[in-house]
Amino acid sequence: MSKSELVLVTGGAGFIGSHLVEALVNEGYRVRVVDNLATGHRSNLGHLEGRYEWIEGDLADFDVCLRAAEGVDHVFHQGAIPSVPRSIREPLESHTSGPTATLNMLEAARRSKARRFIFAASSSAYGDTVELPKHEAMFPTPLSPYAASSWRANIMSASMPARWAWTASACVISTFSALGKTLRARIAA
């Protein structure tokens, strides 16, 4: 990744996204953030004000994705609503912020000829396993709308670029529970 290139972080006001934005900005990359603040907070990026470009918008809106992807070289797709209880209450929201938003973002990135798309996958896709720790070779058995949405979005991100005559490389980084500063009380949410 060259430092003159533009990096888009979707969900950049969230827990992981904001740390990623901080790391990229501190490394000298040009960074754009798109977020609808569904679970994220602008204050997570407060200390970086003026050092990144901000777009407030919903990735379920394809026009927002097109605007966010304009001129972008790399996409870190962190945007999602990662709450199992909330997804059980609001399965449609879970789907639109998962597979729908991911498909929109993939297509927008393809149109803008982004070279890399990096999806944030979730260990929730593997359900409740007897074997621990979980790993990516396990058979997916999602047990909630969030887990199913995340798995669907994972499959799309991993397989589509190669089949779309899009020369970008795609990769999936699976998070198996991240903890740290600015993580809100998600268990209760």
Ligand X SMILES: NC(=O)c1ccc[n+]([C@@H]2O[C@H](COP(=O)([O-])OP(=O)(O)OC[C@H]3O[C@@H](n4cnc5c(N)ncnc54)[C@H](O)[C@@H]3O)[C@@H](O)[C@H]2O)c1
The set of catalytic residues is 146
Vertex 33 angle, CA 37 and 73, to 5°: 145
Compute the distance between CA of residue 83 and CA of residue 39 in angstroms, rounded to an integer.
10
Q: Tell me: does residue 175 bind ligand X (CB under 6 A).
A: yes
> At its nearest, how many Å lie between ligand X and the CB of residue 97?
4
Segment near ligand X (CB under 6 A), from 8-16, 110-118, 134-142, 161-169?
8-16
User: Tell me, what DSSP letter sits at residue 96?
Assistant: I
Give the residue with the Cβ less far from ligand X, 36 or 112. 36
ω into residue 145 within 30 of 0, thus cis? no
Vertex 150 angle, CA 63 and 13, to 5°: 55
Helix then strand count (H, E) for the chain reads: 6, 6
Q: Tell me: does residue 9 bind ligand X (CB under 6 A).
A: no
Of 87, 94, 122, 144, the residue at the interface with ligand X (CB under 6 A) is 122
Interface with ligand X by CB under 6 A: which residues? 11, 13-17, 35-40, 58-60, 78-82, 97, 101, 120, 122-123, 150, 175, 177-178
